[in-house]
Amino acid sequence: MFRRTSLAAAALLAAGALVLSACTGGTTPTPSNTGEPDTDASAIIRLVLEPGNLDIRETAGAALDQILVDNIYQGLVSRTPEQEIVPGLASDWTVSSDALTYTFTVREGVVFHDGQELTPQDVVWSLQTRKNTSYWRDSARLANVASITAEGQEVTLTLTQPDSSLLWNLTGRAGIILKEGDTIDYKTEANGTGPFVLDTWRQGDSITYARNDAYWGEPAQVAEVVFDYIPDNQAALNAALAGEVDVVTGFDANLTEQIEANGDFTVELGESTDKGTLAFNQTSGPLADKRVRQAIRQAIDHDAFVEADASGSTLYGPIPELDPGHEDLADVAPFDVEAAKALLAEADAEDLTLTLTIPNFYSTTIPQILVSNLNAVGITLQVNAVDFPTWLNDVYTNQDYELSFVLHTEARDFENWANPEYYFTYDNPEVQELYAQSLAAIDEAEAAELLAEAARIVSEDAAADWLFSGASVVAVGSTITGMPSINVNERLNLAELAKR
């Protein structure tokens, strides 16, 4: 009886929404953003994916980084939405000319949410414990750190070899500063130094932050932020239209007209580091042949994904525009059905049948486009939609797949192309060498150039296909200012959020 006729329902609802927009389309947008911010305000932000728990040390997932890093927990350094590295708990830092010694000046007067003062010893303990605890997230990113010492307010990291990614890594999980020996239950509690404190977590529903009145920097401009977890975009649209949320993140750009109809919301499209990655298992079978992989890439009409999403951009290599080492690699795999057919004929791989394993929470448009594109060159694509744990087990852990689609959201994650053990199954010593050189480079520009070179090889090897680079689609209410729009699925810094 409970049939899943979501397609039909969506069509009917779209019709309803059209009627609705016809009813309200005539009103002029109300003037917004006038007057002073209301420092007693509560801002309600729709997010999509709720974290399983709040253990920032151990539990993977962008859902944790998104809300916890910057707002609750901080590192010595931080990053802006534009991916620039800026001071955090360190007011300043210096790097020695051989790039082997990093010296950070830890701010004074910083207190944890429980009232205890932050000391340089907390910094040393946090970094050292992370380095020594292999199952903490990003522990391996401190692998080149030989020693961590404190003297006065200065904390010094000594490296065994230069690491051009170290500062960046310290802006993420690898660099988070915790209270030494803290006894809180990290799964449900949080004790950081950020501008917000965790107030309540109603599991399966919402997380509420309150302003940290003892914050060392500029205090937050809202008294309270509520993260309302609404997985479905249609429900989020309804909530927005009914005035139940102030900001909608992770929105569907196809619904822009509807949410903007009465002038209460504006949709902003920000860049993101989301990479729609079509992985090829190239260990054996037809996909071990580079010509077959290249044929698949050239058979795919990448613009179709951008059109279907009404947002984002095409991407032809492993590095998105926000990350260092990006270059436009469109020339490597231009959409060309005839060329694709020729390659398949050359590889003696006509009449192929391949299976795509894809987590079932992604839009069905993705497999639809792939099936029809590949069908045009004589490849039959079978779609195996599975839940995410199954994908993790079959594809990620057991590498038992032919084609796989997953949106890789993490910024600066080129390392996976230099890791032959990774589920991408891509093994090219030249790329591994270039990546190692890039890490060891002292000059940032040089590091980026080496990455770009490696990325071009990955793309030329048709190690995978990148269907699109996702956008960060945020609908912002007219009373809200200071809401970031870039890469908010990865990090959502609310220090400047204000409501009028």
Partner 1 sequence: MIRYALTRLALLALGLLVASVLIFVTLRVLPGDVAQLIAGVNSTPEQIAAIRERLGLNQPITAQYLDWIGGVLRGDLGTSQITGSSVAAELAEKAQVTVPLGILALTIAVLFSVPLGVLSAMRRGRADGTALSVGAQTLAAVPVVWAGMMLVVVFAVWLGWLPAQGFPRTGWSTPWLALKALILPALTIGIVEGAMLMRFVRSATLQAVGQDFVRTAAAKGLTRNTALIRHGLPVVGLSVITVLGLQVAGIIVGAVVIEQLFNLPGIGRMLVADVSGRDLLKVQGELLVLTGFVLIVGFIVDLVHRVIDPRQREAT
Cα atoms in the Cβ-side hemisphere of radius 13 Å centred on 185: 3
**254 is a contact residue toward partner 1 (CB under 8 A):** no
Q: Which is nearer to partner 1, 20 or 150 (CB)?
A: 20
Our finding on whether 437 is near partner 1 (CB under 8 A) is no
In the DSSP assignment, the letter for residue 470 is E
Q: How far is the CB of 46 from partner 1 (least distance, A)?
A: 10
Question: Based on CB atoms, which residue is closest to partner 1, 332 or 383?
Answer: 383
| Cα–Cα distance measured from residue 236 to residue 447, given in angstroms and rounded to the nearest whole number | 42
Rounded-to-10 torsion of CA 28, 29, 34, 38: 130
Residue with tokens 């709040």: 54
Q: In the stretch 335-374, what mask flags binding to partner 1 with x, by CB under 8 A?
A: ----------------------------------------
Does 30 help bind partner 1 (rule: CB under 8 A)?
Answer: no
Choosing from 68, 166, 176, 241, the residue that interacts with partner 1 (CB under 8 A) is 241
Position 58 contacts partner 1 (CB under 8 A): yes
Residue 442 touching partner 1 (CB under 8 A): no
Residues contacting residue 16 through CB under 8 Å, at least 6 positions apart: none
Task: Measure the CA–CA gap between 74 and 90, rounded to whole angstroms.
Answer: 10
* Residue 86 interacting with partner 1 (CB under 8 A): no
Residues 139-178 that bind partner 1 (CB under 8 A): 140
Q: What contacts 3, CB < 8 A, 6 or more positions away? A: none
Contact residue for partner 1 among 389, 420, 433, 443 (CB under 8 A): 389
Check if the beta carbon of residue 120 is closer than 8 Å to that of residue 154.
yes
Give the burial string for 174-197 (b: 16+ CB within 10 Å, else e). bbbbbbbebeeebeeebbbbbbbb
Tell me which of 202, 213, 219, 372 binds partner 1, using CB under 8 A: 202
Q: Which is nearer to partner 1, 232 or 348 (CB)?
A: 232
Residue 226 contacts partner 1 per CB under 8 A: yes
Least CB distance from residue 344 to partner 1, whole Å? 31
Q: Which is nearer to partner 1, 17 or 344 (CB)?
A: 17
3-state secondary structure of 382: strand
Contact in structure between 130 and 174 (CB atoms under 8 Å):
yes
Of the candidate residues 40, 92, 114, 185, the single one contacting partner 1 (CB under 8 A): 185
Q: Would you say 9 or 288 has its CB closer to partner 1? A: 9
Closer residue to partner 1 (CB): 234 or 363: 234
The DSSP output letter for 219 is: P
Q: How many residues bind partner 1 (CB under 8 A)?
A: 66
Rounded Cα–Cα distance for residues 258 and 265 (Å): 10
| Closer CB to partner 1, 55 or 301, in the complex | 55
Q: Does 25 bind partner 1 (CB under 8 A)?
A: no
C-alpha to C-alpha distance for 364 and 246, rounded to whole angstroms? 29
Contacts of 191 (CB under 8 A, 6+ apart): 112, 113, 114, 178, 179, 182, 184
Q: How far, CA to CA in Å, does 204 sit from each of 50, 51, 228? A: 7, 9, 10
Closest CA to 42 of 199, 206, 222: 222
- CB contact at 8 A, 408 and 330: no
Rounded to a whole number of angstroms, the minimum distance from the CB of residue 198 to partner 1 is 14
- Decide if residue 13 touches partner 1 (CB under 8 A): yes
> Which of 103, 208, 428, 478 is the binder for partner 1 (CB under 8 A)?
208
Is the separation of the CB atoms in 53 and 188 below 8 Å? yes
User: Contact between 18 and partner 1 (CB under 8 A)?
Assistant: no
> Is residue 321 near partner 1 by the rule CB under 8 A?
no
The residue ranges of DSSP E strands in 336-463, in sequence order, are: 352-359, 379-386, 403-408
If the CB atoms of residues 48 and 431 are measured against partner 1, the closer one turns out to be 48
- Verify binding: residue 4, partner 1, rule CB under 8 A: yes
Instruction: Specify the stretch interacting with partner 1 by CB under 8 A; choose among 147-155, 281-289, 303-311, 402-410.
Output: 402-410
By CB under 8 A, residue 388 contacts partner 1? yes
Question: Which residues, other chains included, contact 31 with Cβ-Cβ below 8 Å and sequence gap of 6+?
Answer: none
Min separation Cβ 188 and partner 1, Å: 6
Q: Beta partners for 207?
A: 201, 227
**Residue range at the interface with partner 1 (CB under 8 A); choices 233-241, 309-317, 455-463, 485-493:** 233-241
Is the CB of 380 or the CB of 393 nearer to partner 1?
393
- What 3-state class would DSSP assign to 207? strand
Q: Are strands 403-408 and 265-280 parallel, antiparallel or unpaired?
A: antiparallel
Contacts of partner 1 in 126-145 (CB under 8 A):
134-135, 137-138, 140
Single-letter residue type at 257 = E
**Is residue 6 a contact point for partner 1 (CB under 8 A)?**
yes
User: Could you tell me if 185 and 83 are in contact, meaning their C-beta atoms sit under 8 angstroms apart?
Assistant: no
* Residue 17 near partner 1 by CB under 8 A: yes
φ and ψ at residue 355, rounded to 5 degrees: -115, 135
Residue numbers at the binding site for partner 1 (CB under 8 A): 1-6, 8-9, 12-13, 16-17, 20, 23, 50, 52-53, 58-61, 134-135, 137-138, 140, 185, 187-188, 200, 202-206, 208, 226, 228-232, 234-235, 238-239, 241-242, 244, 386-394, 396-397, 406, 408, 410, 413, 416, 421
